[in-house]
Structure formats: structure tokens, C-alpha cells
């Protein structure tokens, strides 16, 4: 290869240091496999450590009160979201209690009453009250406590190693290792690249956040989905993501009380001039406008079913129209009431509908300005922004409709193993969920997935990695190809950099063609542009120093991801797919959400014609292929105790 490569050999490498990755490593160690390590770009990076919301939800089986619930009922809730396999839904439901109690036991401060009941509340797409929360930073607490478990066990962590390639056998049916960029030694040619020869990979890299411009993912989260698809792992439900209104200077979901206190929505030109309360141009009654803003707190994700009749998701469309179509900026103003010109003007609360009025009345908040109501109802919501340099009492909060979560991702079976054997995607990178999912179910899925992968590896994949000579012979060409790409990126280092310009281009393309407003024409154009840039990336990239080499490699992954995701969106629309989940699909024969909007917003709702199908995506030799599979039903298995006991003792459950 002409380059020295240090190789570490292990049974299992876990990639990623979020809640899913730490949990997987901790579980595997506890199951007896000690020949493991964690590889991460940065210990403190990622979504679960650095994100949250007004009340960040964790979804689990009902564990309080007299409301009937069962594993099957929870599985049915997950399954009924559409385009989700029933056996996977059953696993996520069956293990939710075990995983939740584990988190509580290690110190995640989920609240319980004096009798020990973990009471819940109702969340999005939830027929029970299965949701719980440890506050705005639930996933952060999870990550910190799980990290402590890993530290206590002295599990090796390779911090500052960016995965740039998944290494496989010759026919791409099994993973055999990883190639990483050593961010700690970029200037040293002999230490720049490090390989891992491993029997198993648990891949906990999170969602493909970096391919979006408007994103509420933390800036440290970019994703590494593309290189897994490149290696032969199948994609599943790549079309299904979640979007919603969020602040962009400090990235945070604007759900809950941030909306329920009824802030003003204003837009300005690029320079902050020409201020207008633009929602009033489209709502025909003040009461409907106020109710839509209020309901955005409950109904935070964009949902095309909540557009008509001045529904809450009409606001997302109007914000997108101002920012992306008109090129203006949009802000929330908490200092004045909607429809007023100064801070002293009161809001006429009698205009509110019954639900909004009753909520604010019970909260003792039928008074003052939005910031005064927010201080009364949720002072920590104000403090959060103040701690991040934004004083809502005196300044406007800039917003956009942002990518928030990928329901789809890499496919896996009921043990979270990909079609690429020995490769286990867990957490958000795993595409276990379908069109709709209850709020907080992703956190449960990440914990369940890590446990399942660990159990299977401990039971069936204990073997040592291959001999070093065999590993080098098998992977030399794959490693060389990745290093050659790096040489292209570095060929003229010292020139004016365009790495972040390329990243901006990627994000802008996704915001236009692959976010919550979609069309067949837009997807096709996006695919064409992404593929052209992908093929020329090595030649067109200029880096100013070796410090930018990681960003150049990341651009490759993001472009590859984008090309495949936009291809999947195009295929969905070509198959007759319409507006569903958290996106609107243009339909020339559809309805316009409200008069005054451009025709590009015409849409018709999906009637469930594809909700019993799952789109599987295969990337091979530069082309994208699709298969549509029927969802597997929720199993009704043999529950006779003696039979289950016998299968468990014999290890037949892993067959």
C-alpha cells in the first residue's frame, strides 16, 4: 500500500459514544466478552449527549397505575405507525421495561412516586401514558451514566478516530474490520490511518445529520451512514425522517411551552429589516392562528395530516415558505403578544379555543407577554437559552424547520444484525422505525438494540478476529482505495479551502429536495447534482491544511448518503407515494394548504397504501437499487413456559 498502517485486533469494536454505543459496550462486557473497544470521533460529540427538548421523552411499557397495558399492545402501537416489522416492534416492546429499569438503576433520574411507580404521560402517537422524562436532558443523563459504567469497567476507548471505511470480505457479505483516520496524528503519515481487525462491529454512529443545512441535530453530529451503505449494508425506510421548528443559533426543539405561551412569529429580510408578522397573511381568524401556535407545542413534528383547516403544521409550511422560498429570516418574539405593536398590549385570551384557554387558565398564565408566561410556567426554558448566550426577554430567536430524527436507516434483524453479517447498527443509525413512532421510542430502541446485539455476539460470535496476515491480504485493496482518496484531498493542501463550501452545498440541496417539502422533480434534480459532485469530489476539494482532511472525508460520506437518500425519495414518489409521516409530497392534483401559497405546496394525503410495505435500499457499484417488502406481522409465538425454558437453556432462541 505504500503507507504504514497500525492494526488493532479485537473481537468487537463499538463505533460511537452516545447512549446506544455506551450501552452496547457495557452490556457486552457484562455478558462476558472482554475483548472489546470503543472507537469514536470525539468522546463528547453526538446527538444523545448534546440534544434535548422542553421535556425530552423516553418511551416504555406502562409501569404505573391501573391502566391495562401489555408487551403486545405496545408492540402494536409501534407496528401501527406503518412500515415497521412486527417482530422488531415486539422485541422493542418486550425489552423496554428491562432497559428502562437498568437506566434507573444506574442513576438516570426518572421520577417515581412514593410507592415506586414510574408514572407516565401521553406523548405523540401514544394511546396510553407510556412516556416518561428526566427533564430537558434525558438523553444526556443516559449517556453520562452509561459512560460511567464503561469507565468503571476500564473498557478501552479510542478517542479521536474517525471511521472512513467499513472493511468486508470479498463478496461484501460480512464485515471484517474498520479503517479510521487518527485525528490525533494527522501530521504523521505513518500514524494517520489506523485499522481495526474485528470479528464484530456494533455501529452506533447516529443519524445522517450533516447532510442537512437546517438541522436541530447538534453540530457535532454528522453521521456515517453512507460508508455503511457503500460496504453493502442495506438501507431501510430511508425516506422516513422527522422535521420540526427549532432555533438555529443554539440548536433546540421549540416544542411544549415554547409554543404554548403564544410567541409572535415574525420575518425579516436578510439584514433584519422589513419586519412582518407573516402568519396573519394566511390565517383568516385570529383565534385560529393562536390555536395553531399553541398546538404546535403538543404537535411539534411536522405532520401533513395537521395542515388542513389551519392546523398546527400549516405553520411549518409558512416558515419554510419565508425562509427557503422567499429567502427571508424568521424569528420567534417572546417580548410582545401576537398582533400587537408594543410590550404593554394585552392579548385577548377570549379568542383562544377551549383547549388552549383551559391549559393556560389551569397554568395560571392568562396574563402578560409570552416571556412573562414562559417565566411563570417554565423558567428553566428561559435559563437554557440564557446559558447559551440568548436572552429571550430582550432578543428575537431565529428559527427554521429543521431535520430532527431519521426513523429509517440501516436495516437489521431481530438481533439488530445487518444483512452484512457481524455488523450491528444500533441507535438512530438503525432503521427499525417506520412512518410514525411515539415520541421517545427512539431512545428505547437504542437501548434495546445494544442489548440484543450484545446478547447475540456473546452467544454466537465469540471467535477471535482473523490472523493479521489474512486480514491484510483481504483488506489491502479496500484500504488503498480510501487512502488514495485522501491523497487527492491533500494533493494541493495550502490552497484556499472549499471544504465547508461543499458542506454548505450538500445541506442546501437536502433542504430543498429532501427535507419536509418534496417533489419527484426536486428529488431527481437532487440525485443528479449529488452524484455529479460525488464523482468529482476528490478533484474539486481544496483543503488549507491537514486539519481539514477529516471534513473532506466526511463530505464524501455525506454526499454518498445524500445521493442514496434522494434516490430513495424519488423511488417512493414514483411508486405512488404521497404525503405522510413528516413530509409533504407535491401533487399537481392536490389541494393547496391555504390561499396565497405557491403551487409547489399542493399535496394529497397518503391513505396507507404503502404502510404495509418497507422500502429496502441496496447500493452497489455506484448504483442504487430498491426492493419493496411486505411488513412482517407481530408474532404470536409459543408462550408455553416449559417450551420457552427449554429453548432458552439450549440457546435455541438465537437460531
Q: What is the pLDDT of residues 367-394, one digit of tens each?
A: 999 999 999 999 999 999 999 999 999 9
The pLDDT confidence band at residue 2, using thresholds 50, 70 and 90, is low
* For the chain, domain boundaries: 243-403, 486-611
User: At which residue does the C-alpha cell 437532487 appear?
Assistant: 526
pLDDT at 637 over 80: no
The CATH classification of domain 486-611, taken from the options 1.20.58.100, 3.40.50.11750, 1.10.10.10, 3.40.50.1220: 1.20.58.100
Best CA proximity match to 214, nearest among 182, 186, 241, 251: 251
Q: Which pLDDT tens digit goes with each residue over 473-483? A: 999 999 999 99
Cα–Cα distance, 99 to 105 (Å, whole number) = 10
From edge to edge, which strands make up the β-sheet containing 241-247? 252-253, 241-247, 397-406, 329-333, 264-268
Mean pLDDT in residue range 290-301: 94
Question: Dihedrals φ, ψ of 628, to 5°?
Answer: -110, 115
Q: How many CB atoms lie within 10 A of CB 519?
A: 22
The pLDDT confidence band at residue 344, using thresholds 50, 70 and 90, is confident
Q: How many CB atoms lie within 10 A of CB 484?
A: 13
Residue 567 confidence (pLDDT): 99
Q: What share of the chain has pLDDT > 90, as a percent?
A: 94
Q: How many CB atoms lie within 10 A of CB 636?
A: 9
pLDDT at 459 over 90: yes
Residue 3 confidence (pLDDT): 76
Mean pLDDT in residue range 397-410: 98
pLDDT at 53 over 90: no
Q: How far is CA 40 from CA 228, 340, 445, 500, in A?
A: 16, 50, 21, 22
Decide: residue 135, CB within 10 A, 0-12 exposed, 13-18 middle, 19+ buried. middle
CA 39, 41, 43: angle at the middle one, nearest 5?
Answer: 80
Residue 495 confidence (pLDDT): 86
Task: List the beta bridge partners of residue 200.
Answer: 12
Check: CB of residue 152 under 8 Å from CB of residue 29.
no
Q: Which pLDDT tens digit goes with each residue over 212-271? A: 999 999 999 999 999 999 999 999 999 999 999 999 999 999 999 999 999 999 999 999
Check: CB of residue 407 under 8 Å from CB of residue 391.
no
Cα–Cα distance, 266 to 333 (Å, whole number) = 7
Q: Which pLDDT tens digit goes with each residue over 113-132? A: 999 999 999 888 889 999 99
pLDDT at 87 over 60: yes
Residue 639 confidence (pLDDT): 84
Q: Which pLDDT tens digit goes with each residue over 478-497? A: 999 999 999 999 998 888 99
Mean pLDDT in residue range 29-57: 94
Task: List the beta bridge partners of residue 332.
Answer: 265, 397
Q: How many CB atoms lie within 10 A of CB 554?
A: 23
Cα–Cα distance, 300 to 307 (Å, whole number) = 13
Q: How far is CA 354 from CA 256, 258, 291, 294, 360, in A?
A: 18, 19, 9, 11, 10
- Mean of all residue pLDDT scores within the chain: 96
Q: Which pLDDT tens digit goes with each residue over 518-532? A: 999 999 999 999 999
Residue 492 confidence (pLDDT): 82
Mean pLDDT in residue range 165-171: 98
The pLDDT confidence band at residue 1, using thresholds 50, 70 and 90, is low
User: At which residue does the C-alpha cell 491523497 appear?
Assistant: 487
Question: Which three cell numbers mark 654?
Answer: 438465537
Distance of alpha carbon 547 from the chain centroid: 27
Cα–Cα distance, 574 to 572 (Å, whole number) = 6
Which residues does 260 contact at the CB level (< 8 Å), separation at least 6? 294, 297, 298, 356, 359, 360, 377
Q: How far is CA 138 from CA 110, 325, 366, 409, 649, in A?
A: 8, 35, 30, 23, 36
Q: Which pLDDT tens digit goes with each residue over 559-593? A: 999 999 999 999 999 999 999 999 999 999 999 99
Amino acid at each position: 500500500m505504500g503507507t504504514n498502517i497500525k492494526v488493532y485486533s479485537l473481537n468487537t469494536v463499538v463505533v460511537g459514544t452516545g447512549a446506544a454505543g455506551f450501552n452496547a459496550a457495557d452490556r457486552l462486557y457484562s455478558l462476558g466478552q472482554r475483548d472489546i473497544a470503543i472507537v469514536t470521533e470525539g468522546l463528547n460529540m453526538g446527538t444523545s449527549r448534546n440534544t434535548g427538548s422542553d421535556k425530552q421523552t423516553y418511551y416504555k411499557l406502562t409501569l404505573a397505575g391501573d391502566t391495562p397495558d401489555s408487551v403486545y399492545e405496545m408492540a402494536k402501537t409501534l407496528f401501527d405507525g406503518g412500515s415497521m416489522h412486527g417482530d422488531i416492534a415486539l422485541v422493542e416492546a418486550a425489552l423496554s421495561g428491562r432497559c428502562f429499569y437498568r437506566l434507573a438503576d444506574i442513576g438516570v433520574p426518572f421520577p417515581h412516586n412514593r410507592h415506586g411507580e414510574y408514572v407516565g404521560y401521553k406523548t405523540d402517537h401514544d394511546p396510553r401514558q407510556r412516556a416518561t422524562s428526566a427533564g430537558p436532558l434525558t438523553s444526556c443523563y443516559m449517556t453520562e451514566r452509561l459512560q460511567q459504567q464503561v469507565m468503571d469497567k476500564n473498557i478501552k476507548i479510542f478517542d479521536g478516530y474517525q471511521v472512513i471505511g467499513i472493511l468486508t470480505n470479498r463478496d461484501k457479505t460480512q464485515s471484517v474490520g474498520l479503517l479510521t483516520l487518527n485525528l490525533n496524528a494527522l501530521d504523521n503519515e505513518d500514524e494517520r490511518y489506523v485499522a481495526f481487525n474485528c470479528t464484530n462491529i456494533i455501529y452506533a454512529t447516529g443519524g445522517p445529520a450533516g447532510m442537512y443545512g437546517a438541522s436541530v441535530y447538534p453540530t457535532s453530529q454528522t453521521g456515517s451512514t453512507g460508508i455503511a451503505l457503500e460496504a453493502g449494508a442495506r438501507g431501510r425506510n430511508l425516506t422516513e425522517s422527522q422535521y420540526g421548528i427549532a432555533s438555529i443559533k443554539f440548536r433546540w426543539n421549540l416544542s411544549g411551552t415554547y409554543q404554548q405561551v403564544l410567541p409572535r412569529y415574525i420575518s425579516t429580510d436578510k439584514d433584519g429589516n422589513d419586519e412582518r408578522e407573516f402568519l396573519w397573511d394566511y390565517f383568516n381568524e385570529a383565534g385560529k392562528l393562536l390555536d395553531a401556535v399553541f398546538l404546535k407545542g403538543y404537535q411539534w413534528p411536522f405532520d401533513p395530516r395537521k395542515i388542513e383547516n389551519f392546523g398546527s403544521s400549516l405553520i411549518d409550511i409558512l416558515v419554510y415558505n419565508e425562509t427557503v422560498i422567499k429567502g427571508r429570516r424568521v424569528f420567534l418574539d417572546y417580548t410582545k403578544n401576537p398582533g400587537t405593536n408594543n410590550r404593554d398590549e394585552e392579548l385577548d385570551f377570549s379568542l383562544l379555543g377551549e383547549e388552549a384557554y383551559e391549559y393556560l387558565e389551569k397554568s395560571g398564565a392568562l396574563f402578560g407577554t409570552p416571556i412573562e408566561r414562559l417565566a411563570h410556567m417554565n423558567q428553566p426554558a428561559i435559563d437554557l437559552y440564557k446559558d447559551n448566550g440568548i436572552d429571550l426577554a430582550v432578543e428575537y430567536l431565529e428559527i427554521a424547520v429543521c431535520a430532527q430524527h431519521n426513523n429509517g436507516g440501516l436495516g437489521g434483524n431481530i438481533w439488530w444484525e445487518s444483512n452484512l453479517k457481524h455488523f450491528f447498527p444500533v441507535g438512530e443509525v438503525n432503521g427499525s422505525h417506520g412512518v410514525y413512532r411515539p415520541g421517545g421510542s427512539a431512545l428505547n430502541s437504542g437501548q434495546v438494540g445494544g442489548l440484543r446485539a450484545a446478547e447475540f455476539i456473546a452467544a454466537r460470535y465469540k471467535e477471535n478476529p482473523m490472523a493479521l496476515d489474512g486480514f491484510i491480504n483481504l483488506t489491502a485493496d479496500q484500504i488503498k482505495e480510501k487512502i488514495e482518496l485522501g491523497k487527492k484531498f491533500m494533493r494541493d493542501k495550502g490552497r484556499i479551502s472549499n471544504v465547508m463550501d461543499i458542506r454548505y452545498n450538500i445541506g442546501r440541496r437536502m433542504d430543498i429536495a429532501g427535507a419536509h417539502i418534496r417533489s419527484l422533480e426536486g428529488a431527481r434534480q437532487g440525485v443528479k447534482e449529488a452524484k455529479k459532485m460525488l464523482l468529482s469530489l476528490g478533484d474539486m476539494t481544496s483543503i488549507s491544511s491537514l486539519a481539514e482532511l477529516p471534513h473532506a472525508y466526511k463530505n464524501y460520506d455525506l454526499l454518498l448518503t445524500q445521493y442514496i437518500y434522494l434516490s430513495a425519495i424519488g423511488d417512493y414518489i414514483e411508486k405512488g407515494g404521497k404525503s405522510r409521516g413528516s413530509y409533504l409530497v407535491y401533487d399537481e392534483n392536490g389541494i393547496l394548504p391555504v390561499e396565497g401559497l405557491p403551487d409547489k405546496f399542493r399535496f394529497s394525503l397518503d391513505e396507507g397504501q404503502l404502510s404495509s410495505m418497507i422500502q429496502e435500499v441496496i447500493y452497489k457499484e455506484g448504483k442504487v437499487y430498491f426492493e419493496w417488502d411486505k411488513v412482517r406481522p407481530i408474532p404470536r409465538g409459543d408462550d408455553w413456559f416449559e417450551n420457552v425454558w427449554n429453548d432458552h437453556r439450549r440457546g435455541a432462541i438465537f437460531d
